């Protein structure tokens, strides 16, 4: 829960502050929700909503390692896609990664390449391996990957 003005509910514990907003943790009666998984890592959920049949969960983590752990835990039960990662600070300079601009195929190329170790050194997979896994030609995979990387780098740089 985010409180910008007024008092938080009784028993709410402050866990994150930024500008005039404070994020609070409090107990609620839900079971089997992705929010429980996120909050089990000590990360407060700011919002959860459904759009086009997909559950979107907005939450805070303190470090990239915390984010990695939350995503790994969520991936054990759910199909997970990261849409945006931001850092606290000046709202005009907060966004680090914004993946909404990627097509589904570009996102799939990035996720498949990453999961197969394409970006590791030494490589866990080459372009042929990833393209075969996706069931597409190597040239098609490299086009998707190149376009996705360009979009992500444009957002970062």
pLDDT, tens digit (0-9, with 9 covering 90-100), for 38-64: 888 888 888 877 777 777 888 888 777
Hey, what CATH class is 101-157 in? mainly alpha
Are 45 and 57 in contact, with CB atoms under 8 Å apart? Answer: yes
pLDDT, tens digit (0-9, with 9 covering 90-100), for 96-151: 555 667 888 998 999 899 999 998 888 899 999 999 999 999 999 999 999 888 88
Sole residue written with tokens 């197969």:
116
- The model's pTM is 0.44
Q: What is the DSSP string of 78-133?
A: S-----EEE-SS-GGG-EEEE-TTS-HHHHHHHHHHHHTTTTSSS-SS-HHHHHHH
Domain boundaries, the chain: 1-80, 101-157
Among candidates 149, 150, 76, which has minimal Cα distance to 119? 149
């Amino acid at each position: 829960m985010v409180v910008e003005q007024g008092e938080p509910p009784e028993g709410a514990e402050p866990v994150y502050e930024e500008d005039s907003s404070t994020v609070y943790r409090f107990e609620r009666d839900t079971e089997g929700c992705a929010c429980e998984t996120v909050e089990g890592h000590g990360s407060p959920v700011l919002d959860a909503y459904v759009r086009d049949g997909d559950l979107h969960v907005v939450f805070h983590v303190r470090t990239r390692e915390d984010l990695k752990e939350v995503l790994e835990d969520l991936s054990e039960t759910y199909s997970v896609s990261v849409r945006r990662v931001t850092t606290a600070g000046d709202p005009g300079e907060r966004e680090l990664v914004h993946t909404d601009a990627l097509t589904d195929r570009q996102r799939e190329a990035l996720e498949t390449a990453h999961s197969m170790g394409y970006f590791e050194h030494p490589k866990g997979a080459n372009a042929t391996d990833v393209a075969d896994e996706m069931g597409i030609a190597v040239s098609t995979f490299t086009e998707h990957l190149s376009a996705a990387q360009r979009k992500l780098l444009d957002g970062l740089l």
